[in-house]
Chains A and B, each alone.
Chain A
Amino acid sequence: MKLKLVDISYKRILYFALLILLTLNVFDSAAQQRFPKPEFETGHTQPPTLTPEPRAELLEIIDVGVLILSLSLITWFILKKRSRKGVFWMSIFSIVYFGFYREGCVCSVGSLQNITLALFLPEYKIPVTVIAFFVIPLIYTLFFGRTFCAGICPLGAIQDIFVIKPYSLKSWANSLLGLFPYIYLGLAVLYAATATDFIVCRYDPFIGIFRFNGTFFMLVIGGIFLLTSIFIARPYCRFFCPYGVLLNIVSRFSGKHMTITPTECIQCKLCENSCPFDAIQKPVLVNVLDNRRTTVKRFIQLSLIIPLLIFLGGWTGSRFHENLASVNPKVRLANVLLEENNEINEDTQVEIDAFKSSGNTEGKLYSEAASIVKDFYTGGWILGGFLGLVFGLTLAGLSRFQYRTDYTPNKGTCLSCARCMDYCPVRPGKETEFTID
């Protein structure tokens, strides 16, 4: 045993000798290795260092092609064929292709953060495919309504097949919960613009399911959303999706939006409860129109408090800028280093050690963190102001009545799923039978 120990210490001495030689820079830079590779006498050939190639770029371009094709196809199914079946099979396709085969990344929902970051950080390189995934669904929605949501977005499609027994929500609940996507969008933009984090990707509920692999948290959240979708249809799309906010706004100006009836509404009320997303607008009763004067007055009064709400929101947002900024890793590290006598856990210690070995000075870190916090102050004002505006517009919108005689889809919230079409008894060929002049 003793002999062995001596043996090892002899080797150690050899190592130290080599180390000293190295520090003296005896070897030239090309052969800067402590232990040069041996020349084998037995003719041993060394195995190659394997570096598996990433997914081929051609496949990424094909993905964009498939997106355009499937969007065109589903739009044709909705607007021309008026076929719910077609939409259903398209959603199955996109769950399989964009979900399970392509494994979900990058998706249009997440791409809005890349776009934001690219706009705010000039040196950030954004792949062309990400731009395509952001722009193409927006353009389609601008002209044909939210056909992307209907069955191309894998996140929506996977929830849609779970819609089994949807319950209608009260309109105040819809309006209130409908505010949450704006908050989520605002936060996502704030954190992407400050290059802090991509929160939409971090809290993507379905990516783990598509990959059959993910953290426990991811899979649990995904499961909760899918189970909720049985009773409250598509909860993520309606009450969380930040990209849905953009599509909602854009869809209101859509040129050829889906209609419930192929020709003219006969007021049969059959479609009234057919929408699982509460997106069908009922005809506005005449007596509501009667006190038009008071409603207009109320609308103006409510609109007047919007500037106040914007200011209040902005002020509140700016108060919280330090809390918002504390998510940023640089700000967090600077806070830890500045605070004395606090308990440092193992995780934080790793970060402190890494920072110290990186060779950056603390002064540089502090000034960087300070500038990030300053960005968050401005961002807090903008975020709060934006939310105040949204809140005010929602309030004012509650007292806005539009004269309507027919059952029509709400162009903003309608997901173009085509369910209501099957409830409409009017058939395009028999239009004369129902026409009322």
Chain B
Amino acid sequence: MIYEASSIAVGLFVFFVLCVLGLSAYFARKTQSADAYFAAGGKIHWAVNGIAFAGDYLSAASFLGICGMIAMVGYDGFLYSIGYLGGWIVALFVVAEPLKKLGKYTFTDALDAKFNSKSIQLTAAISTLVVSLCYLIPQMVGAGALVTPLLGLPHYVGVLMVGSIVIFIVATAGMASTTYVQFLKGTLLIIFSAILVVLVLNKGLSLKPSADYHDFQSMKAQVVSGQVIAVDNNNYKIVGQKNTAKNHFVKLEKNGINTWWNLTTNKNQETVLQEALSTTKSADGNKLYNGKAKADKAFYQVGHMAEIVDNGKKVEKTGPVGPFKFLSIFTKSKVTRFTKAIFVDGKNKVTVWRQTITSGSEVMRPGLKFKVDKGSTVMSKLNFVSLMLALFFGTAALPHILIRYYTVPSAKCARKSTIVAISAIGFFYILTLFLGLGAMAGGVLDLGSSNMAAPLLAKSFGLILFAIISAIAFATVLGTVSGLIVAASGAIAHDLMDSLFKIKMTDAQKVKAGKISAIVVGIIAIILGILFKGMNVSYLVGWAFAVAASANLPAILMLLFWKKTTSRGIAASIVVGMTSALTIILLSPSMFERYGFDPATAPIALDNPGIISIPLSFLTLIIISWLTPHKRAKDILRV
């Protein structure tokens, strides 16, 4: 669809950016020592740190990605919310206090606290950089993708803009300014998401979500031997047909415009052609939307209820409803989803989204995305378990999250701030279910970009809310990228330069090294963000979780709870966890599909590596520690 730049959105974004830059300039004067730069002097209040945790963690993947996924596949998207939140339990009950006690600036500090081992310093720093980079790329690509529709600017300008602002934030005041940007963003995100949910519930559900919602057409069709030979509308001419494994699509021409229709049966069991949405990409790169040029705005927004059942009666709309009533009605009703099919028509690549009426009970339970029900196999079920495992164990091992434990004064504050984070993030994740379902039935979906579900849902309630939500979406990227750059610059300046290579630096020089590292990492992030333009790289966030869970978590847990852990055991588990996770991902069926090969030929049938790589990393640590007993971790929790 075509997005028009909103001057209110631009104005709010500029205002937010000025606030952020002002804040950074203010804190710059106070950031003179390495402690102030890498850990905000350890003086952040636990409540502020807790919300900053939320601001750091709720990245574009959470806000835009999960809402969009729920809008497309229902409950399966919400499973990400549950898994992401569950991970914080590991952080609170197992990791928070000991890590605060052991570390100084980075998670490598904590792992290496009892050893002073070069192999730990090197492997943990590399793991930090790999995880941070996997997380950074999608955030930067997302920044560019947001700027194009919302501010009317090219992709590279968006990436440059976000990159430059973030470099300024981090290079001026490091963790102090990053903390307050994340605090501001976390607060705004939760408040305005809650407002949006109240508006969704107040509107309720309706068969026609808005007065100008597209009126879908259908027409009777005559079929002989699987081929449509006539339709009962003289305005249309049959110009082609494409049969896929599951569907029959017919190309009709009217006034020189070609559109695609789906062959199906209606309520009366009559064979009909049903209007679908489509994009057609020609060999020369031209793209048509529903047969027309992009500027004609023919690619309308969709998503509506097909049948609403309230108190056992079919109704046209519900009016305002409470949160439980909303979910209950949704479960008993039917919704029109739009499912995608891709095929080649002559020299053109065609993507068709056909109407698929789905019962609410199916939408509200697992199975539409994850193959655990219809058409499931042992491997598809293992894939699901593996994903849920990585989400659960990944959070407490993400370096940019772990460094936030060093910004508070004590272990007690680290614990309290984690509880604040769990409450804020948990509340937000509950909201995502309502936001996603509201978008699914609210006639707001842009089928070309499901990530825009939440901002477009806001737009259906007015331009001001759209502008605010869009500005928050930018802030979301700023907050998370700042945290990632602090983590990566800490790995370079502190773990590698200071700890590993023993480069002698004064406190001021350490700050300078941190700032230069932040600028370098920021520039690399900008370059990658521009290079990866147009690629759907959201899977890289999954990589980050899988690598963090496989490389870092076994090392952290065993260091804390197994006295016989050795430095070589830790270093080996990081290397094995990281390489096994990455190898499985690179040889997985979904990556083979991206390479252009047949996914069935992939040597490893798993897409999510956690179920193999996490136990493998634990096993490596145990075996190597047994074989190298000379340098053990001692009794860390009792020190």
- Determine if chain A interacts with chain B: no
A residues whose Cβ falls under 8 Å from a Cβ of B: none
